[in-house]
């Protein structure tokens, strides 16, 4: 397979990587968490400015660590959608410039495709079809991967994404930003059965519930009401609240992912996105998948959050299929993963 240099600047991580034959030669990530922490979330304008500052050193480090020259690189890739438009523009502009200067093909990559293919980096024998549970700060979906560029969304959130729910609940509990890692750590000290919380089932017009779609806004509201009641009583068992919330999210996602895999007779379930790093989800899903004879694959923690290695891996797949992006390609804040092929000639 090809050797790809990729850039990722869709939100608040500036990353550059070189990947060859699904082997990571380098993957440099500069996080902006400290920059945005005092605001309780990502500030788009600050993120864009920081990408401009960080991209040069990150790119230089990635090339140096890979120990290859430009002659060895087959194509340049960059995340072009979805994400923060200003942030995306930094990476897309840099990627297209590098492609022109070094006379390499340019490949624009859908950010969610990167998460779909992150497991390839440590499971090189993985091949479609497979089902992907994609859970991050901005997305929660069940995606059937038929082949490169051919995706079907079988389930999705109707409101908050799972990662967004973690951030909001962490704020309610006074735990700061980002919420996922701190809730995960605190949950280890709590009782996951301490509080009963709603799973957010989606009612169907003809009766019953949608088997794969999720809703986390009701769960977030339930935690808010519970916190208000406990604070009024003078006690806030933060660890038990964190554990109960995390267990509920893990149970909801596991239930739907396993049901979807069984119904569509897909024996392999891949998990991607930042929430794939959550220990509660990993535990619930691993046990449930084993009981049903389903193979479940989690990327290493380094490839769960946004990184350029996963973007390079997705780009390599497209490169091998002859897909190229025009140098007129822009950045888009919204684009369904089912429209990923719109990025190519």
Q: pLDDT tens, 286-323?
A: 999 999 999 999 999 999 999 999 999 999 999 999 99
pLDDT of 124 above 90: no
Q: How far apart are CA 273 and CA 301, in angstroms?
A: 10
| Residue 243 and residue 190 in contact, taking contact as beta carbons nearer than 8 Å | yes
Q: What is the pLDDT of residue 235?
A: 85
Q: What is the pLDDT of residue 21?
A: 85
pLDDT of 11 above 80: yes
Torsions phi, psi of 180, nearest 5?
-55, -55
pLDDT of 137 above 90: no
Q: Burial code of 133-164, b = ≥16 C-beta within 10 A, e = fewer?
A: bbbbbbbbbbbbbeebbebeebbbbebbbbbb
Q: Give pLDDT tens digits for 237-281.
A: 999 999 999 999 999 999 999 999 999 999 999 999 999 999 999
- Of all residues in the chain, the percent with pLDDT exceeding 70 is 100
* pTM of structure: 0.95
Task: Please state the separation of Cα 70 from the chain's center in Å.
Answer: 29
pLDDT band at 102 (very low <50, low <70, confident <90, very high): very high
- The secondary structure of residue 31, as a DSSP letter, is E
Q: What is the pLDDT of residue 1?
A: 75
| Residue 310 and residue 109 in contact, taking contact as beta carbons nearer than 8 Å | no
| Residue 289 and residue 269 in contact, taking contact as beta carbons nearer than 8 Å | yes
**How many Cα atoms are found within 13 Å in the side-chain-facing hemisphere of 205?**
0
Domains parsed from the chain with CATH numbers: 3-122+303-343 (3.30.420.40), 130-298 (3.30.420.40)
Q: Does residue 134 have a cis peptide bond before it, meaning omega lies within 30 degrees of 0? A: no
> Using CA of residue 249, residue 251, residue 256, residue 258, what is the dihedral sign?
positive
Q: Give pLDDT tens digits for 171-210.
A: 999 999 999 999 999 999 999 999 999 999 999 998 999 9
């Amino acid at each position: 397979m090809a050797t790809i240099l990729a850039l990722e600047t869709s939100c608040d991580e500036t990353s550059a990587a070189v990947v060859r034959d699904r082997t990571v030669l380098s993957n440099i990530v500069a996080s902006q968490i400290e920059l945005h922490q005092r605001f309780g979330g990502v500030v788009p304008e600050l993120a864009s400015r920081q990408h401009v500052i960080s991209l040069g050193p990150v790119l230089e480090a990635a090339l140096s660590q890979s120990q290859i020259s430009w002659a060895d690189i087959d194509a340049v890739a960059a995340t072009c959608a979805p994400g923060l438009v200003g942030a995306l523009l930094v990476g897309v502009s840099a990627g297209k410039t590098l492609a022109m200067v070094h006379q390499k093909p340019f490949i624009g990559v859908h950010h969610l495709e990167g998460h779909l293919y992150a497991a390839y980096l440590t499971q090189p024998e993985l091949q479609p079809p497979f089902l992907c549970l994609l859970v991050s700060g901005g997305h929660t979906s069940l995606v059937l991967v038929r082949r490169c560029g051919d995706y079907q969304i079988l389930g999705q959130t109707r409101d908050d994404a799972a990662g967004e729910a973690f951030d909001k609940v962490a704020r309610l509990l006074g735990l700061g930003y980002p919420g996922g890692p701190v809730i995960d750590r605190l949950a280890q000290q709590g009782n996951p059965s301490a509080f009963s919380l709603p799973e957010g089932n989606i009612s169907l017009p003809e009766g019953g519930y949608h088997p794969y779609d999720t809703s986390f806004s009701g769960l977030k509201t339930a935690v808010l009401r519970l916190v208000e009641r406990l604070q009024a009583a003078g006690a806030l068992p933060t660890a038990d609240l964190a554990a109960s919330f995390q267990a509920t999210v893990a149970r909801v996602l596991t239930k739907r992912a396993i049901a979807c895999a069984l119904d569509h007779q897909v024996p392999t379930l891949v998990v991607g996105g930042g929430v794939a790093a959550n220990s509660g989800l990993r535990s619930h899903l691993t046990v449930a998948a084993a009981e049903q004879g389903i193979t479940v694959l989690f990327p290493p923690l380094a490839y769960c959050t946004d990184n350029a290695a996963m973007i390079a891996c997705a780009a390599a797949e497209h490169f091998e299929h002859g897909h190229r992006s025009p140098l007129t390609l822009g950045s888009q804040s919204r684009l369904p993963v089912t429209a990923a092929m719109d990025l190519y000639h």
